[in-house]
Structure 1
Amino acid sequence: MDPHRRPKGPVRDRGIPQKVLLLRILRERHHVYTDGHRGPAAERRARDEIQERAGIHARKLQALATHIPRPTSGHVCERGFCVIIHLDGADMRVLFATVLFDDRNFQPMGIYHLSASLKAAGHRTRVVDASSPKAVLKAIEEFKPRMLAISTLTTRYRLFQREICPEVKRAFKDIFIVIGGLHVTLMPESIGDDGIDAICRGEGDHVLVELVNRLDGDGDYLNTAGFWFKENGEVFKNPAAPLIADLDGLPMPDRGITDIYPYCRDIPIGIFITSRGCPFACTYCSNASLRELYPDTPGFFRVNSPARAVEEMELAVKRYGYKRIVIMSEVFGVQKKWLAEFAELYRSRIGLPFWCQLHPSMIDEERAEMLKEAGCATVGLGIEAGNPRLRREVLGRRVTDDQIVEGIRILHRYGIKVHAANMIGLPESDLESDLETIDLNLKAGVDFPDVSIFQPLPKTRLAERAVELGLFDGNYDDLPTTINPSAHETTRLDVPHKKVLKRLGFLFPIASKSWLVRRALPLLLKLPLEPLYLVAYKLATAWLKLRYQVGLGTSQLLNRQFYRMLLKYMSY
């Protein structure tokens, strides 16, 4: 059977109102496979739903599932076959645009989820690495989408708003441009910027499908929940849609959408997210502001079931051959019962070393033992500031020096390395307090001391505090495109040690690993050797990241792949 040929038979002749039916069929038993679940119950639910929506008799559905030996569209799903039956009518095309590897966003999980939801509803999707307007224009010319869906953070918003959106509108005036992400969610007034037709506030899995369905059917879309629209100069404001409570009910992420880019497809690590939201309320983070968008919603922090989380990882590992897993959830394993079940499933079905993120207050012997048994190799930990007052009063992180040091020692006893996040140039900080952060990393024996120069994010409490103190003018335009010290710009805050902040950032990882360099810092910060410090910083951070996050060791120093990846990480 030609994989691109449309199937014949009674299914196509029954006048089914849907344009596309997607049936996932397991190779082993030809069971219908839907929404990440399998087994008799899931099979019955799938058949009932399809029968109700399309009018297919269950026995004919079974015959269809049994007799199609390969995907009719050529698309293979990770655990089975995707049978796509194209019916009359044109499905809508959506082009996603984001900046990929340049933002360490080489596996854009948000786009994976949105694309999966749209495809399940019968629409077509593609993604473009929006490194320049030219790349986006070329993708639009080739794919001919009706919608351009942009996903961006604050640091890249102006690239799209100033360069890409106006260029796209000049060349393709009828294309519908929608922007989503944290920036527009917290700053919805961005709808007034030129070239933007809509912004998505909050989670888009369900509401983007609703919007695309309405646009595809030429229906009224201006009252779609979760969006603000602009039409003929008038702005239409709709409330945020409810948070998605059942994460297991979402389709498996569409990782294949980025397979056209080798730096997404061939990377040896797989990125996964097992939860949404965060139970903590740090002042520098957007989660506290996002929580205010849903004042009557008790379940802001939600998690996948351990079974669903492990199944998603298992499918992706089989397809891409990952050698290491990175779990980028805001905080991992909050509930010990959940972690125990995850550890058992992960160990038996995947068994790869993985990286995850914890809050220092969570670490104890029991949790460390479960992580070790599961295969955890590295834990990401937020130290953020070495000065106790800054950490408690300015950052809202109620954790002591002793908790941090003891937590790291516990992890080390179980053979788990520590990747610590730190910030310098905070409001109310000075050179002395930033040196205290280096000292705390040294004292705790952090394996990978990572550092960023603080940049204020819209609507966060810490950014508002910086404005109140006269340290920041509240203008979020032209923020550095990365928070790494290698950014050409330094902090936007008028902190007293602003002139030496970049040098301190360059030397931070090395000084946090060497008492000798730490003692020499007062002298090194006075020397105008930034180009040399920059090279040292990039080499150190690239090696530490590849060693403790990607998992490449000294035995692979002669591996050609190691040097290719080293150059990529140094390009940040």
Structure 2
Amino acid sequence: MKVCIIQDNGLNESLALVEAVAYLRQRGHQFALFLEDEERGGLESRIREFAPDALLVPSDVGAHHWFHRMTAWLKQRFPLPLISGGIYPTFFTEEAFADPHVDYLVIGEAELPLADLLAGLEAGADVSSQAAVWGRAGGREFRNSTIRPIRDLDELPLPDRALYFHYPFIRDFSVKRFNTGRGCTNQCTYCFNPRYKTMFEPGMPYVRRKSVGKVIEEILDLQRLAPMRSIHFSDDIFITSKAWIEEFAEQYPRRVGIPFSCNCMVDHLSEPIIDCLARAGCRAIALGIESGDETIRRDILRKYFTNADAIAAARRLREKGVLPFSFNMFALPGETPDDALKTVDLNLAMGTYHGRGNMTLVLPKTELAKKAREKGLLREDEAEYVRVMPDFRDSREFTAVAPEMDFRNIQNLFPLVLALPRQAPRIKKWMRGKYHGIYKLSLWLALFRERKFFAPEWLSAFRYYRHTGNPYQRTKNFASLI
């Protein structure tokens, strides 16, 4: 079958999607991908030129309003089977299926269910018994929720990264992202991982890792197709196995040798692990700090490292020449501005080079949403909350759990205080003071500081972000799903 994929924006380039497309191409299917933001008024003509047999619209939470607008637009113009998969159909299946323009939903990882669905549609067969597919056909509905994940990731073909490369700003962006596995070892309350893990059948491992050789093969394959100055490993947690990282530290610098960054947890960064990362060529590591208040971090977020652990890990990273970055959340359920200032203090004590400080967006149907509702901070029920929650691209500053202005100065001045730690007492006074919109200028500093983490070439970065906009608005943030 010829399948046309529609996405919103190049910022949401999906590593799971290019893996699924490569798998499906091996089974004889053809694909074209178009980005609405890039095609502007020409999207309809591009789709007609490709002449697809089916439409595929991946959907994320935080972009689900765009998804519903797009399905309506497509169905008005193309009487074709419309399929969706990804974060929104997997975790909000009822809400996604309530869209009358959707014909089929793929639940969980897409390779196996989408392969069977496309084969059935192409043959004109009955697909109502296929696992991990919800659908409507012939006036009746069927709902099969058992997911079908890939057990051995090394069996997958090389990802079809060229799927996006007819857009030069994506092809030529000098930072390339890779996933080395699927699943996460953590149980953070603000994430869908704990819920997704319960959907796996007994005996199916949730955390799976590609072999080091497979990861390097993917990098070398992409290096033949596009420029690559630096690499970011987008896995939620890059360190899941000491043996794996030891092999990686031996092979990667010899066979690839491109500086890289990754995401890690504080409590995974033992001295031997940091030695391996530094030896492999790791330039920077982003640590999920989230809060500097140990009680909030433990009881609200379910992260169990101490502030002393974070300070020690950051010190060891700096000693090995690896820059510590951090992810942080402000306006958490029950948090006060004084609590948020503890996050500032912890980052200063760590010597964090740069930290992302986001206003908390409580995702529906997570444990954090449940905790916020128990505290009386979310008035809507789950269904209503999904309906009223804005798209990330409409409002990255949205928070459902606290008066924003109590935290806005802290968020806006956070990059400045990390860049000028000697001025911390003065800047913290501004953080406690009356809100001033001019403090938002500090966020421009964040873009320059963050450049040292990803290390893009300047011109390619300018072209990329001119097309994609604010990198904080990425919604394609669940690595296993399209």
TM-score in same-fold range (> 0.5): yes
Preserved contact between residue 174 and residue 456 of structure 2 (Cα < 8 Å): no
Preserved contact between residue 97 and residue 136 of structure 1 (Cα < 8 Å): no
d(CA) in 1 for partners of 2:120, 2:262: 39
Preserved contact between residue 456 and residue 462 of structure 1 (Cα < 8 Å): yes
- 2:144 is aligned to 238
The Cα shift of 1:519 comes to: 3.4
- 1:100 is aligned to 9
2:61 equivalent to 1:151:
no
The Cα shift of 1:111 comes to: 1.5
User: 1:542 is aligned with what amino acid?
Assistant: L
Greater RCO (CA < 8 Å, at least 6 residues apart): 2
User: 2:452 is aligned with what amino acid?
Assistant: R
d(CA) in 1 for partners of 2:431, 2:354: 21
The Cα shift of 1:569 comes to: 7.7
- 1:476 is aligned to 386
User: 1:407 is aligned with what amino acid?
Assistant: A
User: 1:96 is aligned with what amino acid?
Assistant: I
- 1:392 is aligned to 298
Distance change in 2, residues 1:571/1:379 (3 Å): closer
User: 1:149 is aligned with what amino acid?
Assistant: L
- Partner residue of 1:434 out of 318, 332, 340: 340
Gaps of 5+ in 2: 472-482
- Give aligned pairs, total: 464
- Partner residue of 2:230 out of 324, 334, 342: 324
Preserved contact between residue 408 and residue 435 of structure 2 (Cα < 8 Å): no
2:417 equivalent to 1:507:
no
- Deviations 1:389-444 (Å, cap 9, x if unpaired)? 00001000011001111011111111001121111111111111111111111110
2:369 equivalent to 1:463:
yes
Identity of aligned residues (%): 26
2:64 equivalent to 1:165:
no
- Deviations 1:45-94 (Å, cap 9, x if unpaired)? xxxxxxxxxxxxxxxxxxxxxxxxxxxxxxxxxxxxxxxxxxxxxxx111
- Partner residue of 2:162 out of 252, 256, 270: 256
Preserved contact between residue 259 and residue 265 of structure 1 (Cα < 8 Å): yes
Preserved contact between residue 174 and residue 461 of structure 2 (Cα < 8 Å): no
- 1:180 is aligned to 85
Gaps of 5+ in 1: 1-91, 553-558
The Cα shift of 1:272 comes to: 0.4
Distance change in 2, residues 1:567/1:125 (3 Å): closer
- Partner residue of 1:492 out of 387, 390, 400: 400
d(CA) in 2 for partners of 1:456, 1:188: 19
- 1:520 is aligned to 427
- 2:195 is aligned to 289
d(CA) in 1 for partners of 2:293, 2:202: 35
Q: How does 1:79-94 map to 2 (within 5 A)?
A: 92-94=1-3
- Deviations 1:345-373 (Å, cap 9, x if unpaired)? 11111100001111110112111111111
d(CA) in 1 for partners of 2:62, 2:99: 16
d(CA) in 1 for partners of 2:415, 2:442: 9
Distance change in 2, residues 1:437/1:134 (3 Å): same
d(CA) in 2 for partners of 1:328, 1:95: 26
d(CA) in 2 for partners of 1:246, 1:256: 23
- Deviations 1:139-185 (Å, cap 9, x if unpaired)? 32221212211122111011111x21111111112x11111111220
Preserved contact between residue 270 and residue 317 of structure 1 (Cα < 8 Å): no
2:246 equivalent to 1:336:
no
Give RMSD over aligned pairs.
2.1
- 1:376 is aligned to 282
- Partner residue of 2:441 out of 535, 538, 552: 535
- Deviations 1:206-249 (Å, cap 9, x if unpaired)? 21111111111111112221111123664311132332110000
SS of 2:5's equivalent in the other structure is strand
- 1:549 is aligned to 454
- Deviations 1:472-498 (Å, cap 9, x if unpaired)? 123123434338xx93653122x2x42
Preserved contact between residue 192 and residue 230 of structure 1 (Cα < 8 Å): no
How does the TM-score come out when normalised to structure 1? Answer: 0.77
SS of 1:418's equivalent in the other structure is strand
2:30 equivalent to 1:121:
no
The Cα shift of 1:506 comes to: 1.8
- Partner residue of 2:355 out of 441, 445, 449: 449
Q: How does 1:174-323 map to 2 (within 5 A)?
A: 175-189=80-94, 190-231=96-137, 234-323=140-229
Preserved contact between residue 455 and residue 479 of structure 1 (Cα < 8 Å): no
